[in-house]
Amino acid sequence: MKLAVAGGTGTVGVHVVEVARQRGHEVVVLSRSAGVDLVSGSGLSDALAGVDAVVDVASTQTISAKESMSFFAAVTRNLLTAEVAAGVGHHVALSIVGIDRVPHSYYAGKVKQERIIRAGTVPWTILRATQFHEFAGQIRARSSFGPVSIIPKMVSQPIAAREVAERLIDLAERTPAGRVADLGGPREERMAEMVRRYARAIGTRGLVLEVPIPGAYGRAMRDGTLVTTTDADHGLQTFGQWAAAQAR
């Protein structure tokens, strides 16, 4: 198959590209560094020539609901419009477990993304996953001030980005399936503890402060809204195993 990976240079995107190539698929990367801007749409139509399925793992780093909705609306509309023109038969998107129970901040954009896909004419598959193990590094990078990291009080059920990538390629190889079973990690973890273990694993020092975020968004982070409910599938690699591999 010929697959296009939107966000193929990102945290999960590099794994999506690698897994697809290992399975013998031809892969086109859609990202700014590969010459395609998904927000403006520049370079997109040429890149989709001959593509069978698009896997969308593009993202933006914001906690603003307005910015997140604007990014995911533009990217999703541009992708779907270009897919129709190019005759792409399958749009596969990665979303996040629990977003409709907490449609605030960054998650507001993910809710919008899902709505646009469902309303579109391109046959689709949506996979919702929990936070990646790699999220510990992402949130630490965004929330550190010198040696101090301020991490929201948050219950997570992290999963290896690699396992999410494998599931996304499984789905891209099949016929469009709509919303499929959620995918979560093997066990629940506290985000602050994940950040501490990640920092130790990569050999850095510093203080990690766990801070409860006020309001509905913060409550959802604390109360398990972002972990899987029944009928979900689960990855195998634990956060501890992943962190140990980073140390090596």
Three-state DSSP class for residue 179: strand
Residue 51 CA to residue 90 CA, distance in Å, equals 9
List 48, 65, 79, 129, residue binding ligand NAP (CB under 6 A)? 129
How many residues of this chain bind ligand NAP (CB under 6 A)?
Answer: 27
By the 10 Å C-beta count (0-12 exposed, 13-18 middle, 19+ buried), 182 is classed as: buried
Distance CA 177, CA 109 (A): 22
Burial class (CB in 10 A: 0-12, 13-18, 19+), 175: exposed
Question: First vs last Cα of the chain: how many Å apart?
Answer: 34
Q: Does residue 135 belong to the site contacting ligand NAP (CB under 6 A)?
A: yes
67 scored as a contact of ligand NAP (CB under 6 A): no
Strands (E), 49-123: 53-56, 90-96
70 binds ligand NAP (CB under 6 A): no
Of 58, 69, 88, 192, the one binding ligand NAP by CB under 6 A: 58
122 lines the binding site for ligand NAP (CB under 6 A): no
Is 94 a binding residue for ligand NAP by CB under 6 A? The answer is yes
Q: Is 60 in the site for ligand NAP (CB under 6 A)?
A: yes
CB of 57 to ligand NAP, least distance (A): 4
Neighbours of 17 (CB within 10 A): 24
User: Cα(84)–Cα(64) distance, rounded to whole angstroms?
Assistant: 30
Interface with ligand NAP (CB under 6 A), residue from 1, 39, 73, 150: 39
Among 13, 98, 137, 185, binds ligand NAP (CB under 6 A): 13
Residues from 153 through 192 that contact ligand NAP (CB under 6 A): none
Residue nearest to ligand NAP (CB): 10
Q: List residues binding ligand NAP (CB under 6 A).
A: 7-13, 31-33, 36-39, 57-61, 94, 96, 110, 129, 131-132, 135, 138
